[in-house]
Every structure is written in C-alpha cells, then in structure tokens.
C-alpha cells in the first residue's frame, strides 16, 4: 500500500520527501548523541514511516553491516534521492556526517512545507468549483421539474 502512495502524482513525492526529512533528522540526532552507526540504522528502519522505503532501507542496512559505507548502498536504493546520497557521501568523507544529515533534514523540511503550501493553495479553488457544481446540480434538480410544470399548465 505504501508503494502505491509513493506513486500517486503530487502526493507521492510529498510522502518521499517527508520520509527523507524524518530519516535525515533522526539519523542526525542519533549521530550527535553518539549512538553507534549500526544501532542507529536499526532504530532508523523502524522510524522511516513508509514500509516501502523501510524495506529498501533494510537491504541498505544489511549491506552496511557487511562492511560497506553508508552512501554506497544508499545510492542503489530506489527511494533515496541522489542529493541525500551525495550529502551523506560528503559527510562520510569529511567525518562530519551529522551536519550533512542536518542540512538534508532542513532542506527536505523546507521542500515538504513548500509542497504542502502549494497543495493547500490549489485545493481552495478546486473546492470552490466542486461546491459550485454541487449547488448547481441541486438548483437544476429543483428548478427543472418546476419549469416542466409551467410548460404543462400552458
């Protein structure tokens, strides 16, 4: 079901961005707290919030536990955008993964806020048109029979 949600136009990218924000934010906090990487990855797999992305992440986590870096397996994952992978790779190389994850989290928080604002701005006119159609339907349902009755009287 979560895979379906990720494929819905307009909402799918929003769900993915929200999951990336959550992933980066929690991972950053765990790294800042000194939690070992493997333990942090175990915690992360339960907090991503989307089963499709969590399943992908389980595969990534298994490859990392085999000794690979974080960015390598993430680059092969379907739902992790290149920007996330690149920022994590830079963080791994510089030894400052916590700050890179924080930047990713901030970026995706802003993206989600922008997307939600755009959707809510678009939803207003759509609701007005929909409500006008419903009112128009009821008006026709009431007035057409009355109109027909006036024709019968003549």
Q: Strand, helix or coil at 16?
A: helix
For 37-93, the pLDDT digits (tens) are 889 988 988 888 888 888 888 998 999 988 888 889 989 888 899 999 999 999 999
What gap in Å lies between CA 41 and CA 27, rounded to an integer? 8
Domain assignments of the chain as residue spans, ordered by start: 2-124
What gap in Å lies between CA 31 and CA 35, rounded to an integer? 6
Instruction: Provide the whole-model pTM.
Output: 0.78
Is the domain spanning 2-124 CATH 3.40.50.970? The answer is no
Which residues are CB-contacts of 76 (< 8 A; sequence separation ≥ 6)?
60
Mean pLDDT estimate for the chain: 90
Q: Which pLDDT does position 112 carry in this prediction?
A: 94
The position carrying tokens 């349902």 is 141
């Amino acid at each position: 079901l979560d895979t379906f949600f990720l494929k819905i136009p307009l909402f799918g990218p929003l769900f993915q961005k929200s999951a990336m924000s959550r992933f980066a934010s929690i991972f950053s906090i765990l790294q800042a707290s000194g939690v070992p990487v493997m333990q942090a990855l175990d915690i992360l797999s339960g907090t991503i919030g989307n089963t499709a992305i969590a399943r992908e992440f389980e595969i990534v986590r298994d490859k990392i536990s085999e000794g690979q870096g974080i960015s390598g397996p993430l680059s092969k994952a379907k739902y992790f955008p290149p920007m996330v992978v690149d920022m994590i790779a830079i963080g791994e190389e510089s030894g400052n993964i916590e700050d890179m994850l924080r930047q990713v989290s901030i970026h995706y928080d802003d993206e989600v806020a922008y997307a939600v604002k755009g959707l809510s701005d678009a939803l207003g006119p759509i609701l007005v048109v929909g409500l006008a159609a419903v009112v128009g339907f009821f008006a026709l349902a009431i007035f057409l029979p009355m109109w027909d009755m006036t024709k019968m009287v003549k």
